[in-house]
Structures are given as C-alpha cells and as structure tokens.
Structure 1
Amino acid sequence: MASIKDVAKEAGVSVATVSRVMNNRGYISKETRRKVEKAMEAIDYHPNQIARALQRSQSYFIGIIVPDSNHPFFSDLIKYVEMRANEKNYKLLICNSLEDPEKEANYISMLRQNQVDGIIMCSHTMNIESYKKVTFPIVSFDRFISPNIPCVGSDNFRGGELATEHLIQSGCKRLLHISGPLDLDILSNRRRDAFVITCMKYGVAYDIIEGAHNKLTFDYFWSFITEKLSPEELHKYDGIFCSNDIVAYALYIYAQQQGLQVPEQLKIIGYDNHSFTRMLQNPKLTTIMQPSDRIGSMLTNTLIQMIEAEEDDPHVNNTTVDVTLIKGDTT
C-alpha cells in the first residue's frame, strides 16, 4: 500500500509539503499542488481519513440545518455546500428543521453527539441565546446571532431596492410587497425595509402583506395568496414585489385567473433565481438573483476556516454577497 513518503518521492517534494497539500494548510503554489496531486494519482494513494481524524481530533463531518431541503433555494445551497466541503475532504450531514424550534434544537444536540466539527445554520427559529450556548464552530446564513458567530448572506437591502426601483421605473404607481415573516430578526427582512424606503423616496403608494411561518411549498403559498389577496384587492396594484420566486409564480397564475395581463396590467418580481426559476421559461420570471453557488461556497469556507484555525486566531468576518436583477417577462 502506498504511503505519504511514496507520494513525496514521486512528486519530488518533502513529506511536510505533501501533508500541507492534503490538509489545505499553509501556502502551496499551484504547480506544487499539481505535482503532489498527480503523484497521488500515479501511485493510487488514498489518505487514511480515520487516521487523519484521530491525529487532528476531527471527524471531518459538518452539519447543515435548513428549513426544508425540498425548497429549490435550499436544495441548490446544499448542493454547493456539499461540493465545496468535498473539495476540502469534509462530509455533510443534512437536517431539515421544518422551522420547528424544538426540532432545530434536537438536531444541534444530535450533531454535537455525533461529533461534527461544525454547523452551517440556515434555519433560525430558536432564540439567539440558544445559539450562543453552542460550543463548537457555527456559521449562520442570513441572521446575525453574535460577534462570535459569523454570518454569510446576500445583500438583501440592495435586492429590495433593485426590485422596487425597477417596478417604479417601469411605470408602476401602486405597489405591494408580499414579505416573509417579520417577527424574526433575519437579514431577508431588509428586503421589506428597502421596499418601504424606496417607495417613500419616490412618493409611490404601497402596502405590505406579511408572510407566515413553517411552509415553503407552492400549495401553501397559493392558499396564502388567495386568502390574503382578494380579486378586488389584487386589481388595486400594478406592481408586486414577492419575497421569493415560488410566491411570484403562484401570484402570476392567480393574476391570470383573475383576468389580469402580466406584465401589461400587473408587473411581478420575485427573489432567488434558484434552479426551479431558471427551469421554467413560460413566463421567464423577473427576479433578484442571490447566487446560491457563492453563498454555499462562502458558508463552507468560513466554517472550515473556523474549524482549522489556530486557537489564538479564530476570528472570521461576516460576508455579504452581491445580488443582481434578472429581467424576465413579468415586468
């Protein structure tokens, strides 16, 4: 069986250099990394992950807790987290909280008992104090929890601003925002803040319908829209900014059923531009893209940086990822 010494000999480098390549630690030039990887392939060398884990007191497992992995955005996000984790020789455990605080707490406890090296937290139904009790590395998506827990998210305020300005510049005079739940201090609520501020800036009349908890399915959002927005109320608006693309598609179908022409009589903008949105082309939705590939990569990189940091240098920064307006057929 080939050993790390055999790899070093084949690549013409030291054992220490091979170790740094395998553990992604320290500076390694691209050429040296290429030589080591080529040598490992040539002699069919596979690192002993169990031995590495014992040596470094790590499991090389990380957990991710999401509200619902069936939701297209979180499905995309999980894919990119897993891809980046795999590049770093980590494995991923996936947990669905279904936005249940008790379930979320149980998953954190379960992941701790299974000795994961850290958690990416995308479900935020527990109170902030509960997160602060977690004693291993944790990275949050879209929610500031504490200075010791870094947060990665898209520029939600800019996204709300882009969407609202686009509707106004397209000639809309009365706007509606269908938001997510506003009782949690999560960054996605900055979309609502930007909507209000932008409408006030341009002197445009507006209303807000607040979203609800626990459901991320098309059927739920269809029921929500038809219950909260009567046909008579729907006809009052000529522009609607939705908190996500599934809401926007449900709204589009509802508007069509009520005899409204989109975008001639009603303009609709969604949020996410996940794989489901990109797949459907009739209509092609106008939306705000928050890049799940970059977000997933940053979440994973940040967590692994914390896991592998020296004890005297555990600090990592919060990260904000830019968003982009994608013009489609609904505005």
Structure 2
Amino acid sequence: MRSQTATMADVAREAQVSPTTAARVIHNRGYVSDENRKRVLEAVESTGYRPNLQARSLRMQRSYSLGLVLSSARENPFYTHISHAIRTAASDRGFSMLTVNHSYSPEAEVNGIKQFLEHGVDATILCHALENQNIQPLIQAGIPVIQVERHDIEQAYFVAIDPDPGMRAAVKTLADEGHRRVAFIGARATGLKDGGPGHAEQRRAEAFQQAVSLYGLDEQDCPVVLGEYFPRSPNDILPGRRLATMLLDDHRCAVTAIIAGSDILAAGILQVLYERGLKVPSDISLIGYDDSIAQFLSPALSSIAQPYLAIGDSVMAFVEEAVGQDTSSAKTRERSVSTSLVLRDSIGPAPGSF
C-alpha cells in the first residue's frame, strides 16, 4: 500500500531485505544482487517511498545539487542535448540541477553564479562560461568546477571532446566516394565576445585539415571557411547561409562536399544549396557536426556526433571524485571522450567520379 510517509525501513520490510541492502539500492552505492535490487525497486514502487533529500543533505553536509552554465541553449540545440545528458546522469546519482543559460550576457552569468552560491551547490559544470572572472567566486568558495570541451580555468576539471575520430571518419567516407574537393565551414575562434568559441572550434578546423592530409587530399582543394557561429540578431540570416554563399561564389572552390562545424551551420548551408538548385547528395554531399538536429533536416543529415552520454558520465565521475575534497591546490585532471560519424542520407559519390 502506498504511503506518503513510507520510510526506508518500510521498503526493506516489504522487500524482505536488510535496511543496509535497501539503502544501497536507493542510493546506488555498493554491490547488491540482481534479485535483491529488483525486490527493493518493486518495494519502492509499491510503498510510494520517496527519499528525504533535506535530511540526507543535513546528514552528509552536502546539498546534492549542482550548477550548470550553458552558453546558448536557445540558439544551438547542442546545448539542449548536453543539458539533458548531464541532468540524466546527475539524476541517476541522486543530484538535482540548477541551470543558467547566459546567452552571452555577463549579467545573466553573474546572477546565475550567485544563485549557485546561495543554494550551496556541490559542484558547477561549465559548457561554457562567458567570462572566467565571473566563475572566481565559485573557485574562492572551494566549489569544484568542471569544464566541458573548453579548458581555460587552471583549477577546473576538464572533459575534453576529441574531434579527430569523427572528422577522420567523415573525410575518409567522402574520399572513398571519390570526393577530392571538400570544404570545411566552421566558426572563427574570435567570432564571439571574449574569444568566443575559441579552442573547441579551432580544434575542429585543425582536425579537418589533419584528416585531409591523412587521406591524401590536396589542401589547396580543401578550403576552410570560418565566420560567426550564431545570427547577430533574431531576424538575421543563419551564418551557415552567409558562409556557404561566400564559398560557392568563389569559383576557384568547386567543391563536391562540405563538412560543417555544427548542425546549425549545416542547416543554413542546406538553405543556400536548395536556393541554387543543388541537390544533396547527388550534386553535393554535406556532413554536419554535433548530431543535434541532423536527423530532422531534409535529407536526413550525416553528422559527426558528440558523445553526449559519455560526456554526462564523465562529468558526474568528476563530481563524485571532487565533492568533499579540498580542490584549492589540486592539479587539473582530464577525461577525454571521442566523437563518431553517424551516417544518414546526405553523402553520395562525387559527381563524375564513377
């Protein structure tokens, strides 16, 4: 029978296990046999047990809450996927999440950090901070900070995302289809305030150039076109449109394939190709990056996928290691996760190659 006041002892009694076993299952700590785990979970459901988070926080001297800073969830669905992955990983481990989406507003970021401090978060995840000076109050308070993809805070833990595996697979796939003229359209490192996307986007362009060399393509035939990542205003055209127009108007660059630095850029590129009567993939092949909206475009876009689940798990591994430790003198630690290529309908043979 369900009860609004069911206790862990009630769960243990219902499952016919010890309170220690029930606690291990409920808090996801320690070994429990599959049979006992199933019985405890069924007992949790039948009794309506809900953990007393306030009591647990007082007992453990932890808030079991985390702060998450996002750059631009409104403009780029990549951040929505990142948020979902980290929230899910946190929830699975008994943590709640406070989120600030600064959208490149220093004031929004400062106010969000103040809320994190007021709620006593156990750690803060940055994807990505706008101004590092706004993060200093967290560092000074001894709250662990974990950076995702971009690492420029000395005291922070770092989840690195390796673009090379996905980019190599993308270039190889195109080369195998006969493409010798492949362009990369991406974000300029100085495209946004305070350095903007910076190293992460620069690494994508470098990964493209390295893959071009690896698979024997001529760098002169594989241009890199960089520009702003997001529209300057809500009514502005997509940057992918502007950059694709620049590329296609340069008749020296008769490319047969394009790799975009994000799915958002790829969406703008698709619009230009459609307006010019170029069909994907029969006239030109197109690959996105992030695998955020690629499957919803037409044609369904092949994309270099971010390892969202692995990012969430890596972040939470740092949280569980760092919480309760003195991080003021800790050396920066790093975990790396890898991209991969998801194939859909936007890659075909280079025109005239077969």
User: 2:26 aligns to what?
Assistant: 22
User: 1:271 aligns to what?
Assistant: 289
User: 2:41 aligns to what?
Assistant: 37
Distance change (3 Å), C-alpha of 1:4 and 1:197 = closer
User: 1:191 aligns to what?
Assistant: 204
Q: How does 1:90-239 map to 2 (within 5 A)?
A: 90-127=95-132, 130=135, 133=139, 135-145=142-152, 148-183=155-190, 185-201=198-214, 202-204=216-218, 205=220, 206-212=222-228, 215=231, 219-222=237-240, 224-225=242-243, 228-229=246-247, 231-233=249-251, 236-239=254-257
Match of 1:138, as an amino acid?
Answer: V
- 2:256 is equivalent to residue 258 of structure 1: no
Match of 2:202, as an amino acid?
Answer: N
Rounded to whole Å, the distance in 2 between the matches of 1:223 and 1:251 is 5
Contact preservation (8 Å) 1:175, 1:239: yes
- 2:265 is equivalent to residue 247 of structure 1: yes
- 2:314 is equivalent to residue 294 of structure 1: no
Distance change (3 Å), C-alpha of 1:211 and 1:162 = farther
Distance change (3 Å), C-alpha of 1:302 and 1:32 = farther
Contact preservation (8 Å) 2:287, 2:303: yes
User: How many residues in Structure 1 have an aligned counterpart in Structure 2?
Assistant: 327
Rounded to whole Å, the distance in 2 between the matches of 1:13 and 1:84 is 27
Identify which of 83, 90, 100 aligns with 1:85.
Answer: 90
**Structure 1 gaps, min length 5:** none
Distance change (3 Å), C-alpha of 1:215 and 1:142 = farther
Farther-moved stretch of structure 1 (29-38 vs 263-272) = 29-38
Match of 1:25, as an amino acid?
Answer: R
Contact preservation (8 Å) 1:120, 1:303: no
Rounded to whole Å, the distance in 1 between the matches of 2:61 and 2:271 is 54
Report SS of the residue matched to 1:81. helix
Report SS of the residue matched to 1:179. strand
| 1:117-171 deviation line (CA, Å, top 9, x unaligned) | 2222111332489568352122221123457533224321222222223333332
Farther-moved stretch of structure 1 (207-216 vs 289-298) = 207-216
TM-score (norm 1): 0.83
Distance change (3 Å), C-alpha of 1:292 and 1:102 = same
Contact preservation (8 Å) 1:245, 1:287: yes
Give the alignment's Cα RMSD to 1 decimal: 3.2
**Structure 2 gaps, min length 5:** 348-354
Report SS of the residue matched to 1:152. strand
Farther-moved stretch of structure 1 (224-233 vs 22-31) = 224-233
Report SS of the residue matched to 1:27. coil
Match of 1:133, as an amino acid?
Answer: I
Distance change (3 Å), C-alpha of 1:40 and 1:226 = closer
TM-score (norm 2): 0.78
Rounded to whole Å, the distance in 2 between the matches of 1:278 and 1:212 is 24
Q: Percent identity?
A: 26
Identify which of 60, 68, 71 aligns with 1:64.
Answer: 68
Rounded to whole Å, the distance in 2 between the matches of 1:45 and 1:133 is 37
